[in-house]
Each structure stands twice: as C-alpha cells, then as structure tokens.
Structure 1
C-alpha cells in the first residue's frame, strides 16, 4: 500500500464495520479453515473442495444482491453437489484410505469457500468508493489481528518458525507475496468490473493447477473417482454461471476513484470510458 504512493481515502464508520467483517471472513476464517483442513486431507482433494465457492457465491448473490437464479443455474448447483458427494465417498488419493479424519478435514475445509463467498459479495459495495489496493490492505490487516493471539494457543510456535530451513522460508515468501498479497489485489480488481458470480468463475482454475501441482510436486496420484468427482463439480459450477442471460448481459464497470485532493475534500469519481 505504501509502495503505491496513493493517498489514503477517509473511511466512514459503516465502511470500517464492513472491512472488519470481510477481514474476518476472507482472512481469518478462510485461512484457518484452509490451514487446518489441508493438513487433514490431500492437496488434490482440497483443491476440489474449493471449487464449491462459485456455488455459494451464486446463492448468496441471489439473496443479498438479487442476482437471477435460473433453472440452469439450479441444475448446475445440484450437479456440483453430486460431484462433491462422489469426492467425499470415493475420492481418496491412490493408495490412501478414506477415513474419518479425511471427512473431518473436508468439513473444516468447506468453511473456506463458504466464507470466501460472503467475503466476495460483501466486498463489492466498498469498491464503489475505494481502490482495490486499499480494500485489500485494510481487510487483510483487520483479518490478521486475530492471528496475533496464536502464541497463546501454540507456545512453541516461534520455535518452529525459527527452525524453518531455506525451502521452508521460500515457500512462506511465495505464499505471502503471490497467493496472499497479489492474489487479494487481483481478486478485487476483477471484482470491481465483474459481478460476484462472474468473478468466482475463476475459482475453476484451482483444481486444474491443484491436481497438476499435487501430482508433480507432492507425488499424489489421483484416483479415477477423484477425477470423476472433480469433473462433475467443474461441470456443475460452470453450468451455474454460463446461462444465456449471463453471456448476453453487459457488465457495467465500477467508476474509478481518484485520490483525494490536497487540503481535503471528497475524492472524484470518474465514469469508465
């Protein structure tokens, strides 16, 4: 945020409340569920669970923003849920038993796409008055505050951090810069000009890269049922967001927000060209 050199835009009380809420949903709950859940199941299976995010986003957008849910979208939701059941029942990695611990991991990880869907929908109004980089920075700071209490629950946490080797620090740096900072900023830039459901469609790329990287990096060989369930989920979530109405409906980008003038004043809002 400081590197951009852009002046901070004053926030209203309602904006602060919303930022605290989306920080809790999109940073605290999301990352806690991802960290705990992924330690209990395979990386390939985890990447497939995350693909349910567009389903949650479509439903929440309907309830909160009034987006239309057609029969085709409802059919896609049902199909994706069927694929999730296939993954839950048969989707273990080859050579691994699908046990109670994996079921628990799936249930915990399921909180991640659910919280991210609320995070996406609730963030949309903020982007009408604030640049994506500011919303990303404020919400990330707000959502990171609860993690400061971790040493109280994990007394040896700092010792484990200090024991990280070179590859461990590189992995942490990669996650921080690319998955966290860059990921949040780019997500908000997309959300500025797209609807929540249209933005969520890019989650479809997660299992593709997840399955590929889990196979190449971790040696996790997916089973036939995992691939079948994953294909069913992908078909369902794509069907949910590719109705004829969606393809023909024009998307109106949000106006650009200029930095505040020197000496105060309300920031200028420019309509997109």
Structure 2
C-alpha cells in the first residue's frame, strides 16, 4: 500500500507541473522565461539539499552532463512558453506523446527492431497526436504553443535517453539542474519581463516541490516497480492533468481532445507493454 501511495503522489506531482505552469503564465502572473529560470533555480536548490543530506557525490563535469543540461534547458523553456496558449491537459498529452514516440524512434534507429505490436501501438499513438495537434481542436490547439511543447518533448526525450544507465540518477539530475541554470540564463534572461509575487511563488512550488521533490520521490519508488509497471503508470500523468485542468482551471474537454487522449494513451500502452514483456521473462 505504501508504494502505491508514493507512486500516486509522484504522478500527481508530475501532472501538477502542467497545472502550475499554466496557472502562472496564462494569467499573466509571470512571464514564461522568468518562470522557467525560477523553476530551475528552486529545483536545483531542493535537489542539492536532498543530495547533501544523503551524503551523495555531485559530479558536475561528467561526460553526459552537457547533453543533460542542454536538453533540460530546451524542455524547461519550451514547457513554459507552450502554456501561454495551451491548456494544461492538452499540453501534458502532447508532451507525453512526443517523449514516448521519440524514445520509441530512437530505439528503432539504434537497432532495436520493433515488433508488429509495437508498430501498431506507435501508429495509434501518432494518430492520437495528430488529433491533438489538429488546427481548431476546440480552440485549444494553438500551433505556436503546440510547437513549443513539441520542443519540450524532444528535449525531455533527449534528457531521458542521455541519463539511461546512470549509477546515481539523483546526483545526475542535481548536476543537470545546476548546469542548466547558467545555460538557460544566457538563452532567455534577456526576454524576462515581469514577475508578481504569486507568479514567483508558483514557480518555486513547481521547481522545488513538484519537480525537485517529485523527481527525488520517483527515484525512490522506481527500483521497487517492475519495468512494465513503471512505464504504464506514467500513462496516468496526462489524464490527471486533463482532469485537473477541467476541475481547477476551468478548461474544456472537447470531443477531439478526449479522442486524442484515448488514442495516445492506448497506443503507448500497447507499445510499452509489448516492449517490457521480454525483459520481465528473463
């Protein structure tokens, strides 16, 4: 029961990143660039504190750090800018779909021949993404916002791929957050415009709690989950964001968006489960 509760809290935290960002930037409480910078800063502080309390070792200049920091910066910037126009649920769906499709494509390109079931699942998920990105999706699918979220998805996919096989994921993520901050500052600090007290507070919560503590909690529960369970449980993130966007932010659930959600999540579930079964049978 404890592992179920911890996993549930983690998925809620991941979905809350979308809700908090949307609430902050769409209302004009803070510009997306300031939000991204404060989010990274607060996340770095929390992660570094947890690492210090654990007695972990911070390796800032490991070979994979530059790619990790650069891809994290792309994710952070794209994620914040996308929520100027996208609803929280739609944004989370696009992000999740792009990440999973990118990782699937990377596996296929690097020699992991996909099965027929995986190809069918990927095709179904891709069809769902097309539905989500289709112009006029209930007034929600802004092409610029969708483009920024696609960039965020590609950044997060690259970040995830670059971190595979890391001996200490928490230490690696802490180092990536620390190195991401100056890089992100150089890229977007000139576009910072305004930040109210509410906007700063939301950015700190998003970076320090739902991102920093959320990642730390995920690393704690991940070793206790089977590979297919860990993959499939993340399917709940866009659903939670969609539900939270409707109940807390007054966002609309259009028929097109609901169809896209079902297609993306079903397709990814089919592909992920089929990919994970052989590993579980070893």
What TM-score bracket applies, with the shorter chain setting the length?
A: 0.7 to 0.9
Q: Could you give the per-residue CA deviations for residues 17-73 of structure 1, whole angstroms, max 9, x where no partner exists?
A: 301211211x20001111111212222211210221222222223444x54521111
Distance change in 2, residues 1:185/1:62 (3 Å): farther
Task: Report the aligned-residue RMSD.
Answer: 3.0
Greater alpha carbon shift after TM alignment, 196-205 vs 131-140: 196-205
Distance change in 2, residues 1:54/1:187 (3 Å): farther
| Whole-Å separation in 2 of the counterparts to 1:12 and 1:223 | 45
Distance change in 2, residues 1:115/1:151 (3 Å): closer
| Whole-Å separation in 1 of the counterparts to 2:96 and 2:190 | 31
Distance change in 2, residues 1:132/1:225 (3 Å): same
Distance change in 2, residues 1:82/1:149 (3 Å): same
Mapping for residues 17-56 of structure 1, pairs under 5 Å: 17-25=63-71, 27-52=72-97, 53-56=99-102
TM-score, reference length from structure 2: 0.71
Residues 197, 241 of structure 1: 8 Å contact kept: yes
Q: Once the 2 structures are TM-superposed, how far is the Cα of residue 188 of structure 1 from its aligned partner? A: 4.3
1:164 corresponding residue in structure 2: 197
2:259 corresponding residue in structure 1: 228
Which is richer in helix?
2
Residues 80, 233 of structure 1: 8 Å contact kept: yes
Q: Which has the larger radius of gyration?
A: 1
Partner of residue 122 from structure 1, selected from 143, 156, 162: 162
Q: Once the 2 structures are TM-superposed, how far is the Cα of residue 105 of structure 1 from its aligned partner? A: 1.5
| Whole-Å separation in 2 of the counterparts to 1:90 and 1:151 | 28
1:83 corresponding residue in structure 2: 128
Q: Once the 2 structures are TM-superposed, how far is the Cα of residue 135 of structure 1 from its aligned partner? A: 1.1
Distance change in 2, residues 1:248/1:150 (3 Å): closer
Q: Could you give the per-residue CA deviations for residues 229-253 of structure 1, whole angstroms, max 9, x where no partner exists?
A: 111111111111111x62353389x
Q: Once the 2 structures are TM-superposed, how far is the Cα of residue 164 of structure 1 from its aligned partner? A: 2.3
| Whole-Å separation in 2 of the counterparts to 1:69 and 1:225 | 29
SS in 1 for 2:197: coil
Q: Could you give the per-residue CA deviations for residues 198-242 of structure 1, whole angstroms, max 9, x where no partner exists?
A: 755444122111111111111111111110111111111111111
Note if 1:5 corresponds to 2:36. no
Greater alpha carbon shift after TM alignment, 38-47 vs 186-195: 186-195
Mapping for residues 150-189 of structure 1, pairs under 5 Å: 152-154=189-191, 157=193, 160-161=194-195, 163-165=196-198, 168-189=199-220
Note if 1:71 corresponds to 2:116. yes
| Whole-Å separation in 1 of the counterparts to 2:162 and 2:224 | 15
2:148 corresponding residue in structure 1: 108
Residues 201, 241 of structure 1: 8 Å contact kept: yes
In structure 1, the gaps of 5 or more residues are 253-273
SS in 1 for 2:80: helix
Residues 60, 117 of structure 1: 8 Å contact kept: no
| Whole-Å separation in 2 of the counterparts to 1:35 and 1:202 | 24
Residues 204, 234 of structure 1: 8 Å contact kept: yes
Q: How many corresponding residue pairs?
A: 233
Residues 85, 140 of structure 2: 8 Å contact kept: no
